[in-house]
Structure formats: C-alpha cells, structure tokens
Amino acid sequence: MIKITLTYADGISEKKLLEDLKARSGSVNKTVTETVSRILEDVRVSGDDAVREYTVKFDGKAPENFEIDKKDIENAVNVCDGEFVASLKRAAENIRDFHQRQVQQSRFNTLENGSILGQRIRGLERVGVYVPGGTAAYPSSVLMNIIPAKIAGVKEIIMVTPPMKDGRANPDILAAAAVAGVDRVFLVGGAQAVAALAYGTQTIPRVDKIVGPGNIYVATAKKLLFGTVDIDMVAGPSEILIVADNSAKPAFVAADFMSQAEHDVLASSILLTTSEVLAKATVEELKKQLPTLSRKDIIEKSLKDYGAIVVFKELSEAIDYANQFAPEHLELCVENPMEYLGAVDNAGSVFLGNYSPEALGDYFAGPNHVLPTGGTARFFSPLSVDSFIKKMSFIYYTQESLDKASDDIIRLANAEQLTAHANSIKVRR
C-alpha cells in the first residue's frame, strides 16, 4: 500500500521536510566507522593477507588469484548477450562524445617583459574504480567512471569488483569494463578493496584517486581515506526532485518517482507541483504501477519514509525550493522547460521536459550519472574529465623582469615578517 506525504507549501511545512531529508544523509553510523577503520588498518599493515581474510569473511571465499586475466576481460563481450553488448557500445559512444568536449589544453602566456606564465594539464598516473558486483551490479557505472578517465589521459585504470556467489566476476561488469577500456581488474570488494587501492598491496597497485559507488562500508572507507588518496565525492542516498505544472503527465511522474525509489530504501523522491490535480493523480498512478515492479518492497518503503509531494502556489516558488534542496537529479516537467533552466542554480543534472526521464541520463544520453547528493550540488559538480586531471602552474622570469617586480615582492614579504623571502629577492639584484 503506497503511503506518501502530501504537503501544502506554507513557508513552514516544506522547510521542515527539507530539514528532515537532509538529516538522513548527514547521519554517521559509528559502528560502521569503527569496523571500517579496523579493516583499513589491517590492510595497510598486512596487505594481501588482510584482503584475503576479509574477502573470505564477507564473501564466503577468496579467489585463488585476485587479478582477472586480460583475455577473460576481453572475452566477456563474447560471453554476454549480443544485444546487451551492442547497447553498451552505443551508450559508450554517447558518453565519449559528451566527455571529449570537456578536455582542457595546457597553455602558456609570454608577457611583454619577457616572463612566461603557464599551466600544464595532465591525466593522473593511476586511478581505481570501485564497481559493485553483487545484487547491485551496475555496468552503466563502469562506463561512466572509466570513459572520462581514459579521455583525461589517466595512464592506468584499475577496477575492483566483488565476486558473485559462485566466486566469478559478474560477466556484464567485465563486458562493460572491456568496452570502456579498463587496464586491469581485481576480484575483490568491500572496504578491503578500497583500502588496497589506497595503500597498495603485494598484488594490487596503489592509486592516486578512487571513484565509483558502493554500500555504506565502501562509502565510509572512501571518506576515511580521503587525504591518503583522492576520491570522487562522499556520496549519500540517491534522490530525485521533480518540478511539474499541469502540463505534466501523472503516469510519467509516478514512473520516474519509482525509478529512483527502487535504488534503496533510503532513496528520496520528491514532487513539487502547482497542480493539486496532478499531485493526486500521481498518487493513483503510483498505486497502479507499483504491483508490476520487481523491487516493489524497496520502492514502497522508500516512498513511505522519504517520498513527498508539495503543492506550491507559484512555479517560481517551487524552483526556489529546488535550489535550496540542491538535488542529485532534477526533472523540469513543465511547459517550455528551457525557459526555467537559467533559474536553476543547484542540481547535479537537469532533465528537461516530459521525454527526458532520469533513466535516460543514467544509461545513455552521455552526461555523467555520478552526481553530488545530499545538497552537495551547491558546491560539487558531476564526475567529469576534470575529475581525472592534475594542473601544474609554471613561472619563468628574466633578470630584468624580476628586478622590476622586486620592490613590490620585498615590500609584501616584509609586511608578513618573512624576511628570508625578501632576502631571496634581494640577493638576486
């Protein structure tokens, strides 16, 4: 039975809803943190032995060799359904095309005084990609994480993924890895896999950055290791916020609601609308469509705990509220949606109109589906080619150009009482 909160915006009720939803993503599980901290330290000290021990403990058994043979990765495209692989390749083509346009070039400027200033851009040396491989196996995430890294010029991409119950790698995951162009794959998951990537073991190489989704143990491991290694973002529960007027179709809105809710019981689905008729019709559509879906129990609990519909008087008020929420996914199911795009300041990805559902972005269109959650779209951006590059500035001055700048530099250094800085300029006069 669908239970979903219907709220009428009054300046208070909708603010309380926003506070409650943000609180869910900010909670910290102390037990999980303690467990993960112990795993990280064991892997740091004992390397492969600790990884193997925790793999047996959590997955039942550990593979004889952690690394998957390159031939087995390449052969995965032949083992999987041909139409599935063809769809992967078409999606990969779209993702490459979109991200190729993000590439930046190194640059330098020669000034009139003879000095040269510039910036060198290069890909990171080695990146680790975590890919869930159990009940939540997402080949689409393989494409979204690996392809931008390849375009950025990352020299080596290492993927880790947990074994299935039979001890093998998920073939769909391997096929996606082959299509995306992964370099090496290791059959290990959980916090121990993240630790192995961050510290390096006898078998698994140390990386500069770790990206990719995972459960609360994986997410906590990435959070604790930030600083030892870079990470994509601290991801919380997934979310969708739909802004709709009376031109929206209730069946579409309901379907998009549930496509988000099926991710996780903690996922949130919110509808902001100026139409009370649409709000009530959407609830009826939820009841009609739910029984046909395979993950209906998860959807039902997600909508009961974190689903809501808010009715506003004006569309502008709904847009303002959406900016405060800063959702991971924002759908604008309104007439002339392009007119409102400029008013959206905070969102991970925006889906415009009735025929641009979130699932289009998740799988196929091209923009990345690794997006900031929990309101962090206020200051975080989607995963991109920029996520995998390193920038280094450089400076060249002639003696003459340094002489002209020396008085200003000495004056600033003395103001900060850093006389050795000032002296390093004086001795060059």
Run of H or E residues at 427: none
Could you give the angle at which helices 216-225 and 190-199 cross, rounded to 10 degrees?
20
Instruction: State how far the Cα of 333 lies from the Cα of 356, in Å rounded to an integer.
Output: 9
**Enzyme catalytic residues:** 328-329
Contacts by residues 29-36 (CB-CB < 8 Å, ≥ 24 positions apart) = 29/216, 29/220, 32/216, 32/217, 32/220, 33/220, 33/224, 35/191, 35/217, 36/191, 36/217, 36/220, 36/221, 36/224
What pairs with residue 127 in β-bridges? 157, 209
Could you give the angle at which helices 82-100 and 139-152 cross, rounded to 10 degrees?
40
Phi first, then psi: give them for residue 154, nearest 5 degrees. Answer: -60, 130
Side chain identity at residue 210, one-letter code: I
Run of H or E residues at 120: strand 116-123
Pairing of strands 126-130, 239-244: unpaired
374 burial level (CB within 10 Å; 0-12, 13-18, 19+) = buried
